[in-house]
Structure 1
């Protein structure tokens, strides 16, 4: 076993979905003590520090990415598809179905990506330009609006 530059023990060379809990806590603490503290202080608010999505929503989004990508490029392989998570913030003026207590808070927007020539491009199967699908205008395949904490109860969080 080896340790990487962050002190994380690597049991093997594959992409494991396991991280030490102490490392996760350190990352969360770093964010809360630095970025979140500055945001809350400078914007005089209690910004969101986590977001939750149910597995059904995530699996459906992944399935839709796969289906739509295959519809425009039957040769695309799953290894060339991915999801980019954009940090985002809700506007001060909220529109349903987004609750008004989400106003100005952090959120995530997930957009599909497709690898071309070794680069993971944002990918919108609803808009094609010379064989390359880009999310630029109109409707884009994306996912947003999980449950934010706050305003949700932080009692459900471990970190």
Structure 2
């Protein structure tokens, strides 16, 4: 076994997609016992603690980022593209397709990034200049997975 840069023991240090179950549980517990507990107490609610996206949605979003980035910059390489996950929250009033029971709950917004001069900038391939996100109009982004709660936590392992 070896330790990675985070001090995590890993039998296969070449596979960055593997984490020890105990480490995952510790991270989840840290969030639930600290940030989530304070949010629930302060806001008197049962906030979401997980979000699920199906693979088709994720793959389609990634493919769209790649295709639109190439359309405005034919020299862009996939290694320079990424996705930033913003922590976000729905408002008091939701609008379709967002269910009303998602009101005020945590969510994620995924935004493309493009590396320039060693920095991963938020990137909107719907704009010709591309570098910064649109202040008005539309930006390429993804949101609205299934939240738990209000979804059933019986499907979760952590």
Range of TM-score over shorter length? over 0.9
Which residue in the other structure is 2:143 paired with? 144
Q: Within the alignment, does 1:155 sit opposite 2:154 as a pair?
A: yes
SS of match in other structure, 2:114: strand
Which residue in the other structure is 1:16 paired with? 16
Give TM-score scaled by structure 1 length: 0.93
Q: Within the alignment, does 1:115 sit opposite 2:115 as a pair?
A: yes
Give TM-score scaled by structure 2 length: 0.94
Which residue in the other structure is 1:133 paired with? 131
Contact 2:4–2:13 at 8 Å: present in 1 too?
A: no
Q: Deviations over 1:98-149 (max 9, x none)?
A: 00000000000000000000000000011233xx432132100000000000
RMSD value, Cα: 1.5
Q: Deviations over 1:63-101 (max 9, x none)?
A: 000000000000000000000000000000111110000
Tell me how far apart the structure 2 counterparts of residues 53 and 40 of structure 1 sit (CA, whole Å). Answer: 24
SS of match in other structure, 1:128: coil
Which runs of at least 4 in structure 1 moved beyond 6 Å after TM superposition? Answer: none
Q: Deviations over 1:34-53 (max 9, x none)?
A: 00000000000000000000
Q: Within the alignment, does 1:90 sit opposite 2:70 as a pair?
A: no
Contact 2:122–2:132 at 8 Å: present in 1 too?
A: yes
Which residue in the other structure is 1:49 paired with? 49
